[in-house]
Amino acid sequence: MKQFLKASELVDFHMPNIQALECGLADGLASDVEIARRCFLYVRDEIHHSGDYKDEITTYKASDVLEHKTGWCYAKSILLAALLRANGIPTGFCYQRLSCSEYLEDVYCLHGLNAIYLKGYGWYRVDARGNKEGVNAEFTPPIEKLAFELQVNEIDLQDIYDEPLDVVVEALKTHKSYDEMIHNFPDIKI
């Protein structure tokens, strides 16, 4: 589990803004489930989804997501991982391959999620993407309530990674504006 608790360039929970928030979110809570729920709700509800708000900044480090209060699903999952790992809760990255028809027709892309290791449940996937009409992700262990139900030709990737996929990191670092991202979403060949 050590790899799911470590800090990194992106999961930079050693940064002061992350440390201050993680302490505040965990204040008064005893269980990993309570802490994970509070962290999940914070990222889901307090950090804009860049696509929903058409924000013209692309963040990728947890500390930058928190500073700018915006991120694509991938960046929001990085912030959630940082907050949870800082609280000693093992957290990984997982993905779905979905149609991106919300942005462009006939395009598929990865969608970023987290897997959290909860003592009473084991690995539990959550989606802090942000709710809106037609999208309702919740934290209800052991039942998963992700943002999107899979449709025809969409898949869940089964692996849990200790760091975001390279293709995701490259897209976030390279494509800085809303228009650049929607035309260059990360994807993998299946």
Residue 184 pLDDT > 90, yes or no? yes
Residue 190 pLDDT > 80, yes or no? no
pLDDT band at 101 (very low <50, low <70, confident <90, very high): confident
pLDDT in tens, 148-179: 999 989 999 999 999 999 999 999 999 999 99
pLDDT band at 44 (very low <50, low <70, confident <90, very high): very high
Contact 106, 18 (CB under 8 A): no
At residue 122, the pLDDT reads 97
At residue 165, the pLDDT reads 97
CA distance readout (Å), 142 to 56, 95, 124, 139? 36, 19, 7, 9
pLDDT in tens, 62-76: 999 999 999 999 999
Contact 110, 159 (CB under 8 A): no
At residue 60, the pLDDT reads 96
Provide the percentage of residues in the chain whose pLDDT is more than 70: 100
> Can you give the residue ranges of every domain in the chain?
2-182
Provide CB contacts within 8 A for 106, sequence distance 6+: none
CATH hierarchy code of domain 2-182: 3.10.620.30
At residue 102, the pLDDT reads 73
Q: What is the 3-state composition of the chain as percent helix, strand, coil, each rounded to the nearest 5? A: 35, 20, 45
Contact 86, 19 (CB under 8 A): yes
CB atoms under 10 Å from CB of 67, counted, come to: 13
Mean pLDDT over the full length of the chain: 95
Q: Beta-strand (E) ranges in 86-185?
A: 91-99, 108-118, 122-126, 138-140, 143-145, 155-156
Q: Name the strand (E) or helix (H) holding 15.
A: none
Residue 103 pLDDT > 80, yes or no? no
At residue 20, the pLDDT reads 94
pLDDT in tens, 112-122: 999 999 999 99
Contact 116, 124 (CB under 8 A): yes
At residue 105, the pLDDT reads 75
Provide the percentage of residues in the chain whose pLDDT is more than 90: 92
First to last CA, the chain: 28
pLDDT band at 100 (very low <50, low <70, confident <90, very high): confident
